Structure 1
Amino acid sequence: MILVLTSCAGLHQDQVRFDRLTDCPQQTAADLMAQAHEIGSSSENLVLECALTVLRDTADAAAIRSALGGRIALLLAEREVNPEKREKLAAEGVRFAEAALAHGGNEDGAVHYYLAANLGLAVREHLTLAVENLDRLENGMKRALALSPAIDHGGPLRLLGALYLQAPPWPQGIGDLDKALELLKKAVADYPEHPINRLFYAQALWHDGSDASMDQARAEFAMGKKLLAEGQWGYSKAAWEKEFAAFAQEFMETD
């Protein structure tokens, strides 16, 4: 318990309150586990909020040990426009994943993936806290990559590569452009259908700065936009469009 509390230092500890819980269906954690494959980016907010509420109070060992709570918290956090609520949801996702690890979920790559993904989102806007958690983010993504590289269309490759791209370099941090390029190139090669793999690889190529890299960055960016426009990405699509637009502005201004 001391380790769990220490690992959460600096993160929000209170939960986001949901408004429409009277509309929730009668369901148990076992029901949610049986339907887990149906919960994703196309799920409506109310569905996710109802599910998270059930998992908050459950004593079901299988549900606690699973990655489901962390995944639902991340889905809600990524959609949340209020920064404080977003960080609270992500911090709750970290706690779900920590509970899963404490109850025997250490060999589940998804648990490690959603712990690191939620942690990254929770500390993203707080530089000191982000730097303090660099090693934990790196180790979590490495563990997820070793156990479940295919989760979320190459999510561990994508997020570990992005971490090396965005983190400060040695000696202040773990930033490493070469590692970022290697991982994100592999993410695109192995999971070419995901638009964010393309966007992150384009960002790494842009940071590389050579003429050949800039040409390839433009091609990856264009393909990512095409995949985003044509694919079925549910509620994630709007947030990803903003990421593409933000990079386009920066890329075009510099170019």
Structure 2
Amino acid sequence: MKALGSFLFIILLTGCAIHQELVKVKTPVKSDDQIQPEWFTADIRSLPIYNNSVALAEIADELCMRSAPFGQKVYALRLAIQANMLDKKDKEVAQVLSRVAFFVADAIDTDEDKMKKSADIGVKAARSIGITDANPEICYYFALNQGLITRTKGLFAINRLPEIEGALKIAQKVEHLDSGGPLRVLGMLYLKAPAWPSGIGDLDKALEFFERAVKKYPSHPQNFMFYAQALTEDDNKDSALQNLDMAYRLSVPEIWGVYYSKKWRTEIDELKKKIAN
């Protein structure tokens, strides 16, 4: 046991040393040598996999992560759309398209029309496979995309909420997806929707889902952000502030990228001001 402890200590020391060495390797790149990818204009028809739906979808899925630049997400969407056009019956391809479409739509702040167009691509891709018990991951991405569209319609979208709720209930089968995504999104639906009898809103249910999310998936800032919002509504301001502090410390650009780090920390600061007033 003592030997194991010594070995782990050496590993930790070595890791630190490696980190310091890598810092020394870092050198500035001259502007003349920088190459910016042509995410928006590159001709994807020149790719040797242009007619291979599976390969295109695999690359699109790899490219599209939260921390990716917006242009990279758009390029991933272009690949995913082509993959889906080649094979509209492929479940995995449609799922990738729905996922990528959401991440593009979610990163559009200044043009509601373009946001809805991207989200609608995701909704249609999900519907093409089926919002059923057999497709819990598809149900999650359907709910995300439909949720973005619904958010812009206000009271006119109340009739869409039961379908989103149903999809998210199915998605609980894969609650680990997106670090507790199905839990926090269903919780947010219950938090923001109008309460009974006009809607499905339920603060107690929201608190229950958020509590599970932060306990089981403590790596995602939004789990704590959403829980804090619900705690604020429940007049538990001290716990809300504790969760916001955790969310702020997690929302670093090194993990989530500059866009989401700035967006989430801005939302956290706004909620803190709301609690203080």
Pairing 1:156–2:176 present: no
Rg (Cα) greater in structure:
2
TM-score for the superposition, normalised by structure 1? 0.81
Q: 1:198 aligned to 218, 224, 244, which one?
A: 224
Letter matched to residue 84 of structure 1: D
Residue 47 (structure 1) aligned with residue 72 (structure 2): no
Q: Is the 8 A contact 1:21 1:50 kept in 2?
A: no
Q: What amino acid is the match of 1:237?
A: S
1:238 equivalent to 2:262? Answer yes
Q: Which runs of 5+ in 1 are unaligned?
A: 1-18
Residue identity opposite 1:20 in structure 2? F
The SS at the match of 1:22 is coil
Spell out the pairing of 1:126-141 with structure 2 (5 A cutoff).
Answer: 126-141=153-168
Structure 1 34/85 Cα, relative in aligned 2: closer, same or farther at 3 Å?
closer
The Cα of 1:31 is off from its aligned counterpart by 0.7
Map of 2:144 onto structure 1:
117
5 Å-filtered alignment, 1:157-236, equals 157-209=183-235, 213-229=236-252, 232-234=255-257, 235-236=259-260
Tell me the amino acid that sits aligned with residue 187 of structure 1: A
Tell me if the contact between 1:64 and 1:99 (Cα under 8 Å) persists in the aligned partners.
Answer: no
Q: Contact 1:90 / 1:118 at 8 angstroms: preserved in 2?
A: yes
Aligned to 1:89: 118
Deviation of 1:175 (Å):
0.6
**Distance of aligned partners of 1:85 and 1:246 in 2 relative to their CA distance in 1, 3 Å threshold:** farther
State the distance in 2 between where 1:128 and 1:239 align. 25
Residue in 2 that maps onto 1:20: 40
Q: CA deviation at 1:148?
A: 0.6
CA distance in 1, matches of 2:130, 2:270: 36
Contact 2:104 2:118 in 1 (8 A): yes
Distance of aligned partners of 1:106 and 1:65 in 2 relative to their CA distance in 1, 3 Å threshold: farther
- Larger deviation: 33-42 or 215-224? 33-42
Q: Is the 1:149–1:157 contact (alpha carbons within 8 Å) kept by the matching residues of 2?
A: yes
* Aligned AA (2:269): A
- How far, CA to CA, are the matches of 1:85 and 1:126 in structure 2? 15
- 1:151 is paired with a residue whose SS is coil
> Secondary structure at the residue paired with 2:200?
coil
What RMSD in Å do the two structures reach over aligned CA positions? 2.2
1:94 touches 1:115 (CA, 8 Å); kept in 2? Answer: yes
Q: Deviations over 1:102-141 (max 9, x none)?
A: 8xx7523210000011101011021233211110111010
Runs of at least 4 residues of structure 1 off by over 6 A?
A: none
1:12-57 deviations in Å (ceiling 9; x for gaps): xxxxxxx934343623321133343453223323432322431452
* Contact kept? 1:30, 1:60, Cα under 8 Å: no
TM-score between both structures, scaled by the size of structure 2 = 0.75
Gaps of 5+ in 2: 1-38
> Highest relative contact order (Cα 8 Å, sep 6+), 1 or 2?
1
Structure-2 separation of matches of 1:247 and 1:121? 21
Q: Tell whether the 8 Å contact from 1:65 to 1:101 is kept in structure 2 after alignment.
A: no
- 2:195 and 2:202 in contact (8 A); partners too: yes
Distance 1:132 1:55, change over 3 A: farther
Could you list the per-position Cα deviations for residues 58-103 of structure 1 after superposition, in whole angstroms to 9, with x for gaps in the alignment?
Answer: 225325664111100000001112111111111221111001218x
Q: Equivalents in 2 of 1:154, 1:172: separation in Å?
A: 28
CA contact (8 A) 1:199 1:244 kept: yes
- Check whether the contact 1:64–1:100 (CA below 8 A) recurs between aligned residues: no
Please list the CA deviations of residues 207-235 of structure 1 after superposition, one character each: whole Å capped at 9, or x if unmatched. 001xxx21111100011000002750134
Write the distance in 1 (CA, Å) between the matches of 2:263 and 2:276: 20
